Amino acid sequence: MRIDIISVIPELIESPFNASIMQRAVKKGLVEVYFHNLRDYSTGSYKQVDDYQFGGGAGMVLMIEPIDKCISALKAERSYDEIIYMTPDGETLNQKIANRLSLYENIIILCGHYKGVDQRVRDQFITKEISIGDYVLSGGELGAAVLCDAIIRLIPGVLNDETSALTDSFQDNLLAPPVYTRPASYKGWDVPEVLMSGNFPEIEQWREEKAYEHTKNRRPDLLNKEY
Q: Is 43:65 a contact under the CB 8 Å cutoff?
A: yes
> Which of helix, strand or coil describes residue 206?
helix
Is 194 annotated as a binding-site member? no
Rounded CA gap, 95 and 5, in Å?
Answer: 21
Is 179 annotated as a binding-site member? no
Nearer to ligand ADE (CB atom), residue 5 or residue 211: 5
Closest residue to ligand ADE, based on beta-carbon distance: 143
**How far apart, in Å, are the Cα atoms of 32 and each of 41, 70, 117?**
21, 18, 26
Chain-centre distance for alpha carbon 213: 27
Taking the complex as a whole, the smallest distance from the CB of residue 102 to ligand ADE amounts, in Å, to 18
Compute the Cα dihedral for 133, 139, 140, 143 and give only its sign.
negative
Nearer to ligand ADE (CB atom), residue 136 or residue 166: 136
Nearer to ligand ADE (CB atom), residue 16 or residue 140: 140
Is 168 annotated as a binding-site member? no
Is 133 annotated as a binding-site member? yes
Q: Is 179:214 a contact under the CB 8 Å cutoff?
A: no
**How far apart, in Å, are the Cα atoms of 147 and each of 19, 97, 180?**
16, 10, 28
Nearer to ligand ADE (CB atom), residue 146 or residue 152: 146
Taking the complex as a whole, the smallest distance from the CB of residue 134 to ligand ADE amounts, in Å, to 7
Taking the complex as a whole, the smallest distance from the CB of residue 12 to ligand ADE amounts, in Å, to 12
Q: Under the rule (CB under 6 A), what is the footprint of ligand ADE?
A: 86-88, 112, 131-133, 135-137, 139-140, 143
The binding site for S-adenosyl-L-methionine consists of 112, 132-137
The binding site consists of 112, 132-137
